[in-house]
Structure 1
Amino acid sequence: MNISALQKERAKYQPKLPKSLQGSAKLVEGEKTKSVANQKEIEELFPNTYGMPLIAFEKGEEQKSNSPVNIGVILSGGQAPGGHNVISGIFDGIKRINPESKLYGFLGGPGGLVDHVYVELTAKKIDEYRNTGGFDIIGSGRTKLEEEWQFDKGLEIAKDLDLNALVIIGGDDSNTNACVLAEYYLKKNAGVQVIGCPKTIDGDLKNEMIETSFGFDTATKVYSELIGNIQRDANSAKKYWHFIKLMGRSASHIGLECALKTQPNITLISEEVAEKKQTLGEIVDYMASVVAQRADNGDNFGVALIPEGLIEFVPEMKKLISELNDLLAEGTETGKEFKMLKKSHRREWVASQLSPDAANLFQSLPSGIANQLTLDRDPHGNVQVSLIETEKLLGEMVKTRLAEMKEEGKFSGKFNTQYHFFGYEGRCAAPSNFDADYCYSLGATASVLVSEGKTGYMASVRNLTAPAEEWIAGGVPVTMMMNMERRHGHMKPVIQKALVELDGAPFKYFVTKRGEWALGTHYIYPGPIQYFGPSEICDLPTQTLKLEQA
């Protein structure tokens, strides 16, 4: 392989482990669990995996002799920094359990399991990918494991390879599917365990047992570096407002963390918009007022952070999108009819199928935004918000509002915009020290859960603001995190997404500062992620974790 000088040095980094994983781990079972909501429905759907106890590891006695553990690993969904270290943590973990253990990687995501496409991951292969970003060691995919025939195909190859377990590395939907698979294999007494690992840069797979999903730390550091660079440019040229959309479909954790790291002039938080039932007009008025007040101070520049999924949290837009998701759902008669129409006729037809309020809003949107709202749905049946140019919509609306304010004598400055979308730039970055350690610990945790015969669990590593040696490893039943939600027009069990808590410490701190950041120029320039140097710089957790656990 052709590798850079940084990669050569980075390959030497040895991730740190919690004390409980540095030798033989002793399992301690806690209280039995129940789902966060819809307990009756979830228990009926998961009779074999519902109510299992929480698990924590403690440092055990000397390493005992164990039988080999064979695991198949799957990378599912979008990339996140640290996936390769989860796999290397699994590999090293099962080799510590027994050197004869084997690890197989299914290629291209869950589809590799169904299609029986795999590769054995050897020490030589693993060593090429330690501490690197991306999922390219085996590739990822978005095939959903939902049908029994898929489960049965997976069982065939699991038996052929003599696998004890499958480890699925993914987000909330992927881990929900992992739990469905675990339930099915238990029901059939198939003898194949299923363990999940919490992955998503969005940061919305979190709870008391999953303090953060892996990749969030690295991605927000990469985005914050880029935001800092743009803030430096804005403060140098002093002539542009930069509207920056940040990845994070269902929650504003990325935007909030980046704001805490960089202190921009405007940061919109989707959850606050929903709580206050703000209209698009009210959001635009707020942004225009900040632009005007800065102009009064002679500052015709600034930086605004916009969450990717913002429009889904604006009540009027949320209602419209909900109606569109049902109208254009895959397999429905209306969805089929829509696809048969000429593109020039689609907007009028859609408006005719919506409720009056939704139709009026849909017709009032710029044609480009309206078209983006009717594009093909994502694998979960929802609008693909990453394709909607919310930053440009808001920029144009602010421009129009400022023109009105100028006529009213309320704005005398200049307003020129630059637009950015930071998403893919952070998904495959080389993991920070924190993510390198965290992911390696998650992999090692998964290997122990498998060796102890557990299934339907997600690997959990907690106490993350402490040094890595003091982290608490264990497992949390996936059913504990579930509720029922509407998907593709039907109620389905899914892991509940964690949104920004408006009464939580990170948001409350942000609120105390945003007025000051709006009118002044208090930018912070984080610079590149630092891997080498004092641990006070290299090993810092996110601002979100520090404020939550202060």
Structure 2
Amino acid sequence: MIKSPLQIARESYNPKLPEALKGTVKIVEGNKTESVADQGDISKLFPNTYGMPILSFEAGESAATDKAISVGVILSGGQAPGGHNVISGIYDGLKKLNPANKVYGFLGGPGGLVNNEYSELTDDVIDHYRNTGGFDIIGSGRTKLEEEAQFDKGLENCKALGINALVIIGGDDSNTNACVLAEYFLQKKSGVQVIGVPKTIDGDLKNEMIETSFGFDTACKVYSELIGNIQRDANSAKKYWHFIKLMGRSASHIALECALQTQPNVTIISEEVEANNMTLGEVIDHISEVVVNRAANGENFGTVLIPEGLVEFMPAMKKLISELNDILAHNEVAVSTMETNKERREFVVKKLSADMAEVFRSLPNSFANQLMLDRDPHGNVQVSMIETEKLLIDMVKAKLKKMKKAGEYKGKFSAQGHFFGYEGRCAAPSNFDADYCYSLGYTASVLIAAGKSGYMASVRNLTAPASEWIAGGVPITMMMNMERRHGAMKPVIQKALVRLDGAPFNALKRQRDEWAANTMYVYPGPIQYFGPSEVCDMPTKTLLEESK
């Protein structure tokens, strides 16, 4: 395999660790915990893992662990920068405890556990992937573990390999699976532990104990570089409006972070749209107003940042999508056999409530068709396939045409649509993510050595130097609530939305009117791996604002 000069240089990078993980580790138990909501339901569903204490690590004497253990690792869901360093941290942590410890990677995600597809990870393999992006060391997948037959088959495969613990590296749904699996294995007295690691570039897996999910830092830096490049082009050519859709199905953390890094003219925050009960028409009015005002100053160009999941946050659209999810979940076979989109639309309209049928009929056919696309494995509409940026461009163009006829607009409007998604998911991790992910993996190895199960690795105090980070474990049940999935109520980790009373959003709110009227673009440039710490090791603007 031919490596780039950067890849070769990054191989020698040694990720920084919290001080407590550099020697022997003492585990300190904190208070007992409860779930964020629905405590009665969650406690009944998870009797073996509910109410466990928060754990923190300190330098000190640890219990001796002479017995060699084997650990299975699973990468679950979409890719996020730093996954390879999580596995490196797990590997190094376990080997430090006992060189005879083994690590197996299940191939292609959770499906590899069920299908017994695996590979033993050795020094040669791990060293090849340190500080690299992607999940290609073992691959990932979106198989959902939800049936006892899957649990039993996975347990059988673990026993055959002598595996004592599983580490599931994933987002909220994947870590929900980890919690369910941990509970089942404890119920069966199987002797197999399950530990989760918080991954998602969307940034919606966070709480007081999980300050950020890994990959968010790198992805936002990649997107911000691209946005900055586009803004420099816009400011040079002075003739295009760029509508940029960014990943973030269930929350607008990426759009918010990228806005704070690049200072665009318009940033739509889905949570604000929902809180203000805004319609699609009102969003169009807002964007159009900014376009008109800038044109009056002779600036017929600009940038608009759009969260991927915007349509799901508009109250009417959210209700429509919820009904569609239920209808399509219960009529999957019937809908899949229909030959045309027209047939599907007519079938769906008959099953929608009266008010939602009216909303559905009012949509352009192309947009309505996109709302009926196949659902993801968790039953959700695949919003990344909905071309929201093109819909907004077309509607703004139509609005401006009317305003021009009425003499309310005299500028020129030419727009380009972009969607930044895959560009950021497998980037080489920033120093922050390289360090954070390695620390998370190392933390997972300590939790395993301590015999813990049903915990998620936690590393906090992330705006401080890495040596001052606080490592530990948080019970996954602490993050859970009950939500409707596939037409039924199920326990899931509660998604963290952008808080409209939070410091990051307020930082945007204070400045966005000025950014809308004036061209105040910031050009972050590419991720820097070598140089001053204030350039190379900076955390996200979100973390910095939240730490004030």
TM-score range, shorter chain: over 0.9
Match of residue 77 from structure 2: 77
Q: Which amino acid aligns with 1:353?
A: K
Is the CA contact (8 Å cut-off) linking 1:24 and 1:64 kept in structure 2? no
Out of 429, 451, 454, which is 2:452 matched to?
454
Q: CA-to-partner distance for each residue in 1:378-434, whole Å, 9 max, x for gaps?
A: 111111100000001111111111111111211100100100000000000000000
Q: CA deviation at 1:70?
A: 1.3
CA separation in 2, counterparts of 1:66 and 1:544?
43
Q: CA-to-partner distance for each residue in 1:185-239, whole Å, 9 max, x for gaps?
A: 1001000000000000000000000000000000000000000000000001111
CA separation in 2, counterparts of 1:452 and 1:61?
12
CA separation in 2, counterparts of 1:535 and 1:213?
22
Alignment of 1:97-116 (within 5 A): 97-116=97-116
- Confirm whether residue 356 of structure 1 aligns to residue 354 of structure 2: yes
Match of residue 237 from structure 2: 237
CA separation in 2, counterparts of 1:134 and 1:65?
33
Q: CA-to-partner distance for each residue in 1:91-112, whole Å, 9 max, x for gaps?
A: 0000010011000000000000
Q: 340-349 or 505-514, which moves further after superposition?
A: 340-349
- Confirm whether residue 342 of structure 1 aligns to residue 331 of structure 2: no
Is the CA contact (8 Å cut-off) linking 2:25 and 2:62 kept in structure 1? no
Is the CA contact (8 Å cut-off) linking 1:481 and 1:495 kept in structure 2? yes
Out of 526, 530, 533, which is 2:531 matched to?
533
Alignment of 1:269-284 (within 5 A): 269-284=269-284
Match of residue 189 from structure 1: 189
Is the CA contact (8 Å cut-off) linking 1:485 and 1:491 kept in structure 2? yes
Give the 3-state SS of the residue equivalent to 2:168 in structure 1.
Answer: strand
Is the CA contact (8 Å cut-off) linking 1:175 and 1:478 kept in structure 2? yes
Ranges in structure 1 where 5+ consecutive residues have no aligned partner? none
Is the CA contact (8 Å cut-off) linking 1:23 and 1:62 kept in structure 2? no
Q: 401-410 or 499-508, which moves further after superposition?
A: 401-410
Match of residue 370 from structure 2: 372
Ranges in structure 2 where 5+ consecutive residues have no aligned partner? none
Is the CA contact (8 Å cut-off) linking 1:71 and 1:164 kept in structure 2? yes
Is the CA contact (8 Å cut-off) linking 1:74 and 1:140 kept in structure 2? yes
Match of residue 402 from structure 2: 404
Give the 3-state SS of the residue equivalent to 1:305 in structure 2.
Answer: strand
Give the 3-state SS of the residue equivalent to 1:328 in structure 2.
Answer: helix
Match of residue 202 from structure 2: 202
- Confirm whether residue 413 of structure 1 aligns to residue 405 of structure 2: no
CA separation in 2, counterparts of 1:393 and 1:518?
21
Q: 113-122 or 157-166, which moves further after superposition?
A: 157-166
CA separation in 2, counterparts of 1:24 and 1:236?
56
Q: CA deviation at 1:63?
A: 9.1
Is the CA contact (8 Å cut-off) linking 1:234 and 1:301 kept in structure 2? yes
Q: CA-to-partner distance for each residue in 1:98-129, whole Å, 9 max, x for gaps?
A: 01100000000000000001000000100000
Alignment of 1:124-523 (within 5 A): 124-329=124-329, 332=330, 334-343=331-340, 344-523=342-521
- Confirm whether residue 58 of structure 1 aligns to residue 58 of structure 2: yes
Q: Which amino acid aligns with 2:496?
A: A
Q: CA deviation at 1:164?
A: 1.3
Q: Which amino acid aligns with 1:531?
A: Y
Give the 3-state SS of the residue equivalent to 1:81 in structure 2.
Answer: coil
CA separation in 1, counterparts of 2:461 and 2:538?
13
Is the CA contact (8 Å cut-off) linking 1:243 and 1:305 kept in structure 2? yes
Q: CA deviation at 1:357?
A: 2.1
Q: Which amino acid aligns with 1:22?
A: K
CA separation in 2, counterparts of 1:519 and 1:20?
49
Q: Which amino acid aligns with 2:2?
A: N
CA separation in 2, counterparts of 1:539 and 1:243?
30
Match of residue 22 from structure 1: 22
Q: Which amino acid aligns with 1:7?
A: Q
CA separation in 1, counterparts of 2:47 and 2:348?
42
Is the CA contact (8 Å cut-off) linking 1:481 and 1:496 kept in structure 2? yes
CA separation in 1, counterparts of 2:61 and 2:325?
55
Q: CA-to-partner distance for each residue in 1:39-65, whole Å, 9 max, x for gaps?
A: 000000000000000000001148955
Q: CA-to-partner distance for each residue in 1:136-173, whole Å, 9 max, x for gaps?
A: 00000000111111111111121111111000000000
Q: Which amino acid aligns with 1:5?
A: P
Say if 1:62 and 1:374 are closer, same or farther in 2 by CA, change over 3 A.
closer
Is the CA contact (8 Å cut-off) linking 1:485 and 1:492 kept in structure 2? yes
CA separation in 2, counterparts of 1:288 and 1:96?
59
CA separation in 2, counterparts of 1:501 and 1:69?
42
Give the 3-state SS of the residue equivalent to 1:447 in structure 2.
Answer: helix
Is the CA contact (8 Å cut-off) linking 1:206 and 1:212 kept in structure 2? yes
How many residues of Structure 1 are paired with residues of Structure 2 in the alignment? 547
Q: Which amino acid aligns with 1:283?
A: V
CA separation in 1, counterparts of 2:390 and 2:350?
27
Is the CA contact (8 Å cut-off) linking 2:145 and 2:151 kept in structure 1? yes
Give the 3-state SS of the residue equivalent to 2:483 in structure 1.
Answer: strand
CA separation in 1, counterparts of 2:352 and 2:49?
41
CA separation in 2, counterparts of 1:425 and 1:273?
27
Give the 3-state SS of the residue equivalent to 1:304 in structure 2.
Answer: strand
Q: CA-to-partner distance for each residue in 1:8-38, whole Å, 9 max, x for gaps?
A: 0011100000011001110000000000000
Q: CA-to-partner distance for each residue in 1:316-374, whole Å, 9 max, x for gaps?
A: 11111111111111xx2x33322232313222222222222212221221221111101
Is the CA contact (8 Å cut-off) linking 1:91 and 1:103 kept in structure 2? yes
CA separation in 1, counterparts of 2:343 and 2:182?
46
CA separation in 2, counterparts of 1:302 and 1:443?
42
**Ranges of 4+ aligned residues in structure 1 off by more than 3 Å:** 61-66
Q: CA-to-partner distance for each residue in 1:270-297, whole Å, 9 max, x for gaps?
A: 0000000000011000000000000000
Match of residue 8 from structure 1: 8
Is the CA contact (8 Å cut-off) linking 1:167 and 1:197 kept in structure 2? yes
Q: Which amino acid aligns with 2:348?
A: V
Q: CA deviation at 1:442?
A: 0.3
Q: Which amino acid aligns with 2:120?
A: E
Q: Which amino acid aligns with 1:534?
A: P
CA separation in 1, counterparts of 2:350 and 2:501?
41
Is the CA contact (8 Å cut-off) linking 1:24 and 1:63 kept in structure 2? no
CA separation in 1, counterparts of 2:129 and 2:86?
11
CA separation in 1, counterparts of 2:201 and 2:65?
38
Give me the TM-score of the superposition, normalised by structure 1.
Answer: 0.98
CA separation in 2, counterparts of 1:526 and 1:27?
40
Match of residue 38 from structure 2: 38
Give the 3-state SS of the residue equivalent to 2:507 in structure 1.
Answer: helix
Give me the TM-score of the superposition, normalised by structure 2.
Answer: 0.99
